[in-house]
Structure 1
Amino acid sequence: MDLELRHLRIVRAVADAGSVSKAANFLGLAQPALTAQLKRIERALGGALFERDRRGARPTQLGELVLDRARVLLPAARELQEEALRFATSPSIRYRVGATNGCVLGGLVDRLAAERPVTTHTSLSAYELSGMAELGRLDYVLVGACGDTGVPGGTLEWETVSTDPVFVLLGPGHHLAGEKEVKLAELAGEQWAMTPGDGCFADCFAMACARAGFTPGTIYETDMSTCAHLAQVGRAVVLCQATHQAPAGLVMVPLVDVPLRWRQFLGRHPTAPDAAWVLAQAKAAHAEAVRHSSLYQDWLVRNPGFGTAP
């Protein structure tokens, strides 16, 4: 048996109480259970820790040695735990940000890190991130939702960062790669690729296809590099946010009449620091991503009401 801090607490409790029975009452244990545990601790340490008789329990020389160490180790362990908890939960030390797939996180981290340290946590699940924030393990979460879908429920406070159209990525040999815009119906015979998530995007896409008069073929949910490869070899058309930077060799094309939209939200714990400023930085990060895409900038001129939230 390896010695643990809880074993040292038992030894100290017996010494402080002066008897096994009183220590058992203090620890909320049955006396036989505590006696058995004490015997296992003594076997692990190589000898008796207490002399027990009708007058109670008195430490042996080995017991005194163990108690001397316990009186140092137990307060140190408690102090470490309290300090770690203060460090993990104090908003004044760093920003703790979680995010799903999206263009905002990199720019946001860059901006926040200029003020104080930042830690990040990424997940495919908006619900996981929201739950972590509600428990106080994250200050902010960046998540997306398609169409008019709402944000995850709970106690977080939410703000809209952006509303973007969904574009498609086509391989260089695709017969529509040279078009300025394509109708979703023109892609009826295609296979599709998209990044995964636990939201309703796949359902929204299926509904958009149904409105366009067809049922989509195979849908590959995978990472973006694999999506790009499938488009490159002509295996699939990739659905992506308009702020996405098209990989070399692929062509990004808008869809006529915006059959799919993607909104990004910033959720925050009620005690998260600098709420208004952090929201402004998230919007600035999105606006920067828009500036990197001349295609999206031109599209926004013709389609007001999208882009970075005011």
Structure 2
Amino acid sequence: MDLELRHLKTIRAIADAGSLTKAATALGLAQPALSAQLKRIERALGGELFERGRQGVRATALGEFVLARARVVLPAVSGLREEALRFGREWADGTGFRLGATHGPLLGALVDRLAAAHPGAPVTTHTSWSEREIASRTADGRLDFALVGACGASPPPQSELLVWREVARDPVFVMLPTGHPLAACREIDLAGLADEAWTDVPGDGCFADCFTAACARAGFTPSSVYETDVASCVHLVQVGRAVGLCRATFPPTPGLVTRPLAGSPLYWRHLLGWHPEAPARDRAAAVFTQARAAHAEAAARSESYTAWLAEPSRAITPGAGVS
């Protein structure tokens, strides 16, 4: 017999009542049926849970052990049920936000802004290095909104099913350790980094091909590119093992600096997507506004990006860069 929650409730009822007869009454069972059930539970747990006597029942050492666990598990399950019902009602009412995102710089800020603007509304997140996975989950209703990036002018995934709006577009910057010979430069020619190893986060878009093409135009082929998570990219740059590619909004980080590449050979578009027939469509404008505000805040925190934006000749126009 598999132990079930109802069995724990039975054990607790017997302990609270102090006798099988009183427990049977409380549970709406005949006393012989409760006795038979208790025996099955005890066989499943490997020993007697109660000592029977003229004064009723008293928990054995094993019974006390099981009761202690039951008094933790049963309230937890009850709380889970209540929270799940509330959560389900809120989703049904269209008040929650299920966000999917790649490992970009905006998700945390967007969650914070939505939670502040909609107190009590559930906000959940799903992250993946795959833009296609995030878009697929949004297309089939498992997510409400997709916050992903696209390289240059390349189309976003699932563009035939989802509505996409451009939150912002940024030049791609380079991360250097603070001690790098070029760290003091205002901008860096890509060709000046020809002898470096590189690091970047993985993705299933065209960015890797676009980077290789940009390097070829600069006259070199990258010697190696470490594709790994953001924390590992930062570590590799900090210790001087590689230079990194990053969005211009990359936050200030000890041990490294971010610098623009001369001529902005690469740029990145931040995109918000949703299904046009999903209930979430009514909240798309609000989420889009919060995403743009999150991007503006991220840009303002980057001194190098703020300086870059201050020069009108640096502005990115739609269709520029590598696609």
TM-score for both structures, normalised by structure 2: 0.67
The within-5 A match list for 1:21-60 is none
| Alignment of structure 1 residues 3-82 onto 2, 5 Å | none
Quick check: 1:220 aligned with 2:229? no
Q: Does 1:141 align with 2:146?
A: yes
Structure 1 counterpart of 2:27:
none
| RMSD of equivalent CA atoms | 2.5
Asked whether the equivalents of residues 90 and 122 of structure 2 are also in contact (C-alpha less than 8 Å), the reply is no
Shift of 1:117: 2.0
- Native 8 Å contact 2:87 2:122 kept in 1: no
1:266 corresponds to:
272
For residues 225 and 104 of structure 1, what CA distance do their matches in structure 2 show?
A: 16
Match of 1:185 in 2: 191
Q: Which residue of 1 aligns with 2:122?
A: 117
Matched-pair contact (CA < 8 Å) for 2:113–2:290? yes
Provide the rounded CA distance (Å) in 2 between the counterparts of 1:212 and 1:107.
35
Structure 2 CA distance for aligned equivalents of residues 87 and 205 of structure 1: 46
Matching residue's letter, 1:299: W
C-alpha contact (below 8 Å) 1:193/1:219 kept by paired residues: yes
Q: State the alpha-carbon separation in 1 of the partners of residues 107 and 317 from structure 2.
A: 19
Q: Which one of the candidate residues 86, 95, 110 is aligned to 2:97?
A: 95
1:246 Cα offset (Å): 3.5
For residues 218-267 of structure 1, give each alpha carbon's deviation from its aligned partner in whole angstroms, at most 9, with x where no partner exists. 10001122112211222111100000014201121111000110111000
Give the Cα separation in 1 of the matches to 2:316 and 2:90.
40
1:210–1:231 CA distance, 2 compared to 1 (3 A): same
> Secondary structure, in 3 states, of the residue corresponding to 1:296?
helix
Distance in 2 between the 1:251 and 1:83 partners? 48
What SS class does the counterpart of residue 291 from structure 1 fall into?
helix
TM-superposed CA distance for 1:3, in Å, is 11
Partner of 2:298: 289
Which whole-Å CA distance do the structure 2 matches of 1:93 and 1:175 have between them?
51
Instruction: Output the amino acid matched with 2:308.
Output: W
Aligned residues: 233
**Amino acid corresponding to residue 188 of structure 1 in structure 2:** A
Change (3 A) 1:157 1:149: same
Compared CA separation, residues 157 and 219, structure 1 to 2 (3 A): same
Relative to structure 1, is the Cα distance of residues 91 and 175 closer, same or farther in structure 2, using a 3 angstrom cutoff?
A: farther
Counterpart amino acid of residue 304 in structure 1:
A
Q: CA deviation at 1:85?
A: 10
Cα 1:85–1:170 shift into 2, 3 Å: closer
Q: CA deviation at 1:282?
A: 0.6
Q: 1:159 aligns with which of 155, 165, 181?
A: 165
Which runs of 5 or more residues in structure 2 are unaligned? 5-39, 41-81, 319-323
Distance across 2 between alignment mates of 1:228 and 1:86: 39
Partner of 2:57: none
**Is 1:210 aligned with 2:216?**
yes
Equivalent of 1:126, from 131, 134, 138?
131
In 2, are the aligned partners of 1:204 and 1:260 still within 8 Å (CA)?
yes
User: Contact 1:164–1:306 (CA<8 Å) still a contact in 2?
Assistant: no
1:112-168 CA-to-partner distances (Å, cap 9, x unmatched) read: 112122111111111111111111111101000111111002411110001001111
Partner of 2:174: 168
Corresponding residue to 1:150 among 151, 155, 159: 155
1:140, 1:267 within 8 Å by CA — same for their partners in 2? yes
Deviation of 1:86 after TM superposition, in Å, equals: 5.3
- The CA deviation string for residues 61-106 of structure 1, in whole angstroms up to 9 with x for no partner, is xxxxxxxxxxxxxxxxxxx9x9799558525241111100212111
- TM superposition score normalised by structure 1: 0.69
Mapped to 2, the partners of 1:297 and 1:254 lie a distance apart of 11
Q: Tell me how far apart the structure 2 counterparts of residues 86 and 213 of structure 1 sit (CA, whole Å).
A: 57
Which structure 1 residue ranges, 5 or more long, are not aligned? Answer: 5-44, 46-79
CA distance in 1, matches of 2:88, 2:258: 47
In structure 2, what residue type is equivalent to 1:157?
Answer: V
How many percent identity over aligned positions? 53
The alpha-carbon deviation at position 286 of structure 1 amounts to: 0.4
Mapped to 2, the partners of 1:237 and 1:142 lie a distance apart of 26
Counterparts in 2 of 1:193 and 1:136: CA distance versus 1, 3 Å: same
Aligned 1:232-247 pairs, distance under 5 A:
232-247=238-253
